[in-house]
Amino acid sequence: MIVKSLKLINFRNYEKAELSFSPKTNILLGNNAAGKTNILEALYALSLGRSYKNKDKEMIENEKDYLKINALVELKDREDSITFVAAKEGKKVFVNEREITKLSEFIGHLNTVLFSPEDLLLLKNGPQEKRKLMDMSLLQISKQYVEDYQAFKKQLKLRNDYLKYLYPKTKENDDIEDDMLDILTMNFIDCNKRIFIARNTFLKNLEAITDKKYRELSGSIETITFEYIVNFENDIAFYKEKYKSDITQGSTQFGCHRDDIIFKKNGQDFEANASQGEGRMLALSIKLALAEMIEKMKREAPVMLLDDVFSELDKNHQNRLLSMLSTSMQTIITTTDILKIGKPALENAKIFTVTAGRIKETNYGRNQ
C-alpha cells in the first residue's frame, strides 16, 4: 500500500500541513526538533488509531482543542481516505468519511512498520518494550487480537481494582474465600489464554523470519532465536495460592502483562553482550521480518517508516537494507544530514525539508 498524501491540522508542531509522497522513497530532512518524527507519528496514528508515544490528546498542538490527520491510501484495488480526529474529550476515526466505532474495524486500513531510535532499547529496556513489540505488531495483523487485547486489559483492571478493594477487608491470617475474586480470576485466565496463544504463534513466525533477515542484513552466519518467557497458567489453583500476595500488592502478579522475550544469538543470551551495531541489526531484522509477515497476510506491503536509523547505517548496510525492502514498498526516511544518505537511496527519492513545523518539497541533494 502507498500513502499518496497526508494532511495535518493542529498536529504537534504543525498547524496546517499538506504533502504528497512518492510511492517509493521519501526523505524528510531537517534539524532536531523540526518536526520529522511528528510526520511519522501521524502516519502511525492512522495505522493503529493511537499515538505510539503518549496519550492521544498530547498530539494536539499546544493551545488548540482538536487535531485532524487525514491520508489517502492507495491499495491494489481501491483508494481509501483515512481520518483520525482527537479532541480533549476523545477521538474519532473515519474511513472514506464514514465513522468507525470499533477500533478493530479501523486498524489495518493503513499498515506501517516503524523503526525508531527507541527500538534500540529493545535489548536494554526490559520486558515492557518487548511486550509492546508483540502487541503493536499483533494489533496490526489480527482484528481478533485487537478485541482480545482490549478484553485482557479490561479484565486485568477489574481484577486489580477488586484486589485493592479487598485489601482493607483482609486480615493477616484469613484464608481468602471470595466468589467474586474466583470469577474475576477465571475470566482473567480466559483472556490470558487468548493473548498467550496469539503471542506464541506470532513469535514463532517472527523468529524464523528474523533469523533469515539478520543474516541477510549483517552478512554474518549467526543464528537468532527467541525464548518466549510465558506467564500463562491455566489452573485457578495456581492463582488461588497467590490470592494473598496479590491482595497485599494490590495487583495481579502473574499473567501475560508480565511476559518477556529473551533474544539469543547462537543460543546465547544476546542482551548482555550485543554491541550497539548488533543491537541495531537485530532490531532492524525484527522490523523487516514484521514487514514480510504483514505483506504475506494482508497481500499488501506495509509502509516503512525509518526514523533516524537509515543515516546511522554505513553505506554498505544501507544498500543491503534497500535491497531487502520489497520492490513494492514505500519508505519514509528521516535524517538531519542528507550527506549521510547514500546515492542508491537518493536516486529516486522525493526530498522534503522540514523547518519548525513547515514542510516543503525540494530538489536539495539531488545533484550531489
Q: Residue 363 and residue 368: Cα distance in Å, rounded?
A: 10
Q: Residue 3 and residue 6: Cα distance in Å, rounded?
A: 7
Give which of ligand ADP, Mg ion, none residue 13 binds (C-beta under 5 to 8 Å, depending on kind).
Answer: ligand ADP
Does position 61 interact with ligand ADP (CB under 6 A)? The reply is yes
Give which of Mg ion, ligand ADP, none residue 34 binds (C-beta under 5 to 8 Å, depending on kind).
Answer: ligand ADP
> In this structure, are residues 259 and 131 in contact, taking their beta carbons and an 8 Å threshold?
yes
Angle at 282 between CA 281 and CA 287, to 5 degrees: 95
Q: Which residue is nearest to Mg ion (CB)?
A: 37
- C-alpha cell recorded at residue 93: 476515526
Identity of the residue, 179 or 337, whose beta carbon is nearer to ligand ADP in the bound complex: 337
Q: How many residues bind ligand ADP (CB under 6 A)?
A: 14
Give which of ligand ADP, Mg ion, none residue 35 binds (C-beta under 5 to 8 Å, depending on kind).
Answer: ligand ADP
Name the minimum Å distance from CB 132 to ligand ADP: 19
> By CB under 6 A, which span of 60-68, 115-123, 136-144, 311-319 interacts with ligand ADP?
60-68
Task: For strands 25-29 and 331-335, give the pairing.
Answer: parallel
Give which of Mg ion, ligand ADP, none residue 192 binds (C-beta under 5 to 8 Å, depending on kind).
Answer: none
Does position 62 interact with ligand ADP (CB under 6 A)? The reply is yes
Q: Where are the alpha helices (DSSP H) in the chain?
A: 36-48, 103-106, 127-141, 143-166, 179-218, 236-240, 243-249, 276-298, 315-324, 343-347
Sequence-distant (≥ 6) Cβ neighbours of residue 207 within 8 angstroms: 224, 225, 226
Identity of the residue, 13 or 251, whose beta carbon is nearer to ligand ADP in the bound complex: 13
Identity of the residue, 293 or 333, whose beta carbon is nearer to ligand ADP in the bound complex: 333
Of the candidates 344, 319, 345, which has an alpha carbon nearest to the alpha carbon of residue 333? 345
Cβ neighbours around 29 below 10 Å, total: 23
Give which of ligand ADP, Mg ion, none residue 38 binds (C-beta under 5 to 8 Å, depending on kind).
Answer: ligand ADP
Identity of the residue, 44 or 196, whose beta carbon is nearer to ligand ADP in the bound complex: 44
Going from the C-alpha of 61 to that of each of 29, 45, 55, 356, the distances in angstroms are: 21, 15, 13, 13
Identity of the residue, 12 or 350, whose beta carbon is nearer to ligand ADP in the bound complex: 12
Which residues sit at the interface with Mg ion, rule CB under 5 A?
Answer: 37
> What part of residues 10-39 is at the interface with ligand ADP (CB under 6 A)?
12-13, 30, 32-38
What is the binding site for ligand ADP (CB under 6 A)?
12-13, 30, 32-38, 58, 60-62
